[in-house]
Amino acid sequence: MQTRRIGSLDVSVVGLGCNNFGGRLDATATSAVVHAALDAGITFFDTADIYGSTRSEEYLGRALGGRRGDVIVATKFGMAIDDARRGAKPEYVRQALEASLTRLHTEYVDLYQLHTPDKSVPIADTLDALNQLVAAGKVREIGCSNFEPEQLRAADAAATRISSARFVSVQNQFNLLHRDPEQGVLGECERLGMAFIPFFPLASGLLTGKYRAGQPRPKNTRVTSGAYARLLTDENLRIIESLVEYSESRGHTILELAFAWLLSHPVVASVIAGAMSAAQVTTNASAASWQLSDDERAEVSRLLDLSGVASGEHR
């Protein structure tokens, strides 16, 4: 498994998104997925305090056990757990971290991320609180999520002004069907020396090959019967067919293309895909073996541009 950098952290180019832990997966199933990831060489685990109603962190910490020191653990704060636990006020930043440390059964978090901007709090105040946690050795690096270019610039300027730790990463949605980060965020990452972490890299399952035009659709999935049913449009299925054809013409799957295309962007540090089983983890871990040539990347971009995905309207 190759690695890339997030600030001072070395992370596997395929990571494990832990949003299913504590919700769709119980503690036993979580342990099986985590251990399959470790066996596959995955060292980057991304969770959040809101995942699984706080159980994701708990189950991840329990599953890692004595392997905690072998991996990079990223978690997030800021989205509402309840009315009292939310936002980016300095006092809550410290409270949220202590709660996450307890649930994760660890003394430090490798990458602590502000899950969403809080417009009610000056970013300098949040950064100052985070900087204190870095200075105390409870956090190694800090990052953000769901930030736009102007918010990244404002955070960097604030960090310079108050001489605090800087955000070393931003985590936004990015995949073959949702290319919005190409409109500014990726360029800002390059300018500021930040890593980009794409979430929903498989478009909630659409880019796994399970959903094909004219074929029976899997039952009881998030796309066919859940919150992401809006993604299953005729237009998206048409795009998927063209990507499947392209991948198979080169001896690969569309899932492998989804990983390879994201990793062809130099600022992308790790593709954090969720998994429901050990088998899915193994498949995801092996997907990064396809490294797109410049010509292949250009051809994929041409296919997407012809499909109208460049502006990010297909989601």
Query: In the predicted model, what is the mean pLDDT of residues 225-231?
Result: 64
- Residue, of 1 and 315, whose pLDDT is higher: 1
Query: What is the amino acid identity at position 138?
Result: K
pTM metric for this prediction: 0.92
- Flag the least confident range among 41-50, 69-78, 176-185, 214-223: 214-223
Whole-number Å distance between alpha carbons of 246 and 250: 7
User: According to the model, what pLDDT value does residue 222 have?
Assistant: 63
User: According to the model, what pLDDT value does residue 205 have?
Assistant: 87
Tell me: pLDDT of 66 over 70. yes
Rg (CA), the chain: 19
Annotated active-site residue 112? The verdict is no
Based on DSSP, count helices (H) and strands (E) in the chain, helices before strands: 11, 10
Whole-number Å distance between alpha carbons of 50 and 80: 7
pLDDT in tens, 120-131: 999 999 999 999
Whole-number Å distance between alpha carbons of 185 and 27: 36
Residues 36-65 as b or e (16 or more Cβ within 10 Å = b): bbbebebbbbbbbbbbbebbbbbbbbebbe
Helix, strand or coil, per DSSP, at residue 88: coil
Tell me: pLDDT of 310 over 60. no
User: According to the model, what pLDDT value does residue 311 have?
Assistant: 45
Whole-number Å distance between alpha carbons of 293 and 60: 36
Q: How confident is the model at residue 312 (pLDDT cuts 50, 70, 90)?
A: very low
CA-closest candidate to residue 76, choices 85, 67, 68: 85
User: According to the model, what pLDDT value does residue 39 have?
Assistant: 97
- Flag the least confident range among 1-5, 195-199, 212-216, 304-308: 212-216
CA-closest candidate to residue 229, choices 239, 240, 217: 217
Q: What is the three-state SS of 7-21?
A: CCEEEECEEEECCCE
Residues 189-224 as b or e (16 or more Cβ within 10 Å = b): beebebbbbbbbbbbbbbbbbbbeeeeeeeeebebe
> What distance, in Å, lies between the first and last C-alpha atoms of the chain?
30
DSSP states of 101-143 as a string?
HHHHT-S-EEEEEE-S--TTS-HHHHHHHHHHHHHTTSEEEEE
Tell me: pLDDT of 314 over 70. no
User: According to the model, what pLDDT value does residue 221 have?
Assistant: 66
Query: What is the amino acid identity at position 146?
Result: N
Most distant CA atoms of the chain, gap in Å: 57
Residues 131-147 as b or e (16 or more Cβ within 10 Å = b): bbbbeeebbbbbbbbbb
CA-closest candidate to residue 5, choices 248, 169, 148: 169
User: According to the model, what pLDDT value does residue 227 have?
Assistant: 61
Whole-number Å distance between alpha carbons of 13 and 112: 19
User: According to the model, what pLDDT value does residue 315 have?
Assistant: 33
pLDDT in tens, 8-59: 999 999 999 999 999 999 999 999 999 999 999 999 999 999 999 999 999 9
- Flag the least confident range among 114-118, 227-231, 280-284: 227-231
pLDDT in tens, 149-192: 999 999 999 999 999 999 999 999 999 999 999 999 999 999 99
Contact (Cβ atoms closer than 8 angstroms) between residue 272 and residue 17: yes
Whole-number Å distance between alpha carbons of 285 and 293: 20
* Given 51, 59, 112, 211, the catalytic residue: 51
pLDDT in tens, 238-293: 889 999 999 999 999 999 999 999 999 999 999 999 999 999 999 999 998 999 99
CA-closest candidate to residue 269, choices 167, 127, 163, 169: 169
For the chain, which domains are there?
3-205+255-291 (3.20.20.100)
